[in-house]
Amino acid sequence: MPGSREVKRRIRSIGNTKKITRAMQMVSAAKMRRAQIAAAASRPYADLARELARALALATEDINVGSKPSFLPNSLSKTAVLVVVSPNRGQVGALNSNLLSAMRDFVLAQQKLGMNIEIIAIGNKARDGVLRAGLLLEAEFTKSDKAVSTVDIRPAAKLLIENFLNGKYVSVTMVYPQFVSTLVQRPSTQLILPFDDSVQDGEEEKESPYIF
C-alpha cells in the first residue's frame, strides 16, 4: 500500500496533467472557433465570385451575337468529370461515408443518362473511396489538412479548365463536405461548369440536370 508521500505525489501529478489538458482544450477550442469563422466568411465571397463569373459569361454572349462564351454549354462530349474533395484522415464520424455515398449516387445517375464519368480526387479518403468503388480515377491531388490557398488548387483548376475548354468534358461537378456546424458537415453536390445560361431576369433558376 503506497505511503502518504506517494499518494501526495500522485495527486500533484494528476493535478498537473489536468492543468495541461485544460490548456490544450482551450487552444483547440480557439483553433476550432477560427476555423468556423473562416468557413462562414468564405461563403458570401464564393457565391459572389461565381455569380460575377456567370454574369460576365452572359455579357460576353450578348456582345458577341451568334458566338458561344467558353464557359457556357458548348460541348457535345459525353464525358463529365466529378471532383471529390475529402479529408485526408478518418475518425470524422459519418463525413467520409456520406461523401462517398453522394459520389456513388451522382455517378449512377449520370450513367443512367448515358454519360461517361471521370473522377478527380482531392484528399486521401476521396482517392481511396474511388479506387474501392472501381471507378475511373482520372487524377489525384494532395491537399493540406490546414487552410488551402489558391496556389494549392491551381494545378487542379488548370486541368479542369483546359479539358472543359477543349471540349473533353461537357460538365465539371464537385462533391464536397459543406460546413454546417462543428458536428455537422453535409455532402454537397454542385455544378461548377458550364455556367447556366437558362436564367433570365425575373425568372427562377432552373435545376441543373447535373445536380440532384
In the sheet where 171-179 sits, what is the strand order? 137-141, 116-122, 79-85, 171-179, 185-193
Buried residues in 175-186 as b, exposed as e (16+ CB within 10 A): bbbebeeeeebe
Averaged pLDDT, 187-209: 59
Architecture per CATH, domain 70-193, reads as 3-Layer(aba) Sandwich (3.40)
Residue 171 pLDDT > 60:
yes
Q: Position of cell 487552444?
A: 27
- φ, ψ of residue 89 in degrees (nearest 5): -125, 170
Q: Which pTM value belongs to this model?
A: 0.67
> Over the stretch 65-83, which tens digit does the pLDDT of each residue have?
555 556 776 667 888 999 9
- Contact (CB, 8 A) for 96 and 129: yes
Query: What's the confidence (pLDDT) of residue 65?
Result: 52
Confidence at 179, pLDDT banded by 50, 70, 90:
low
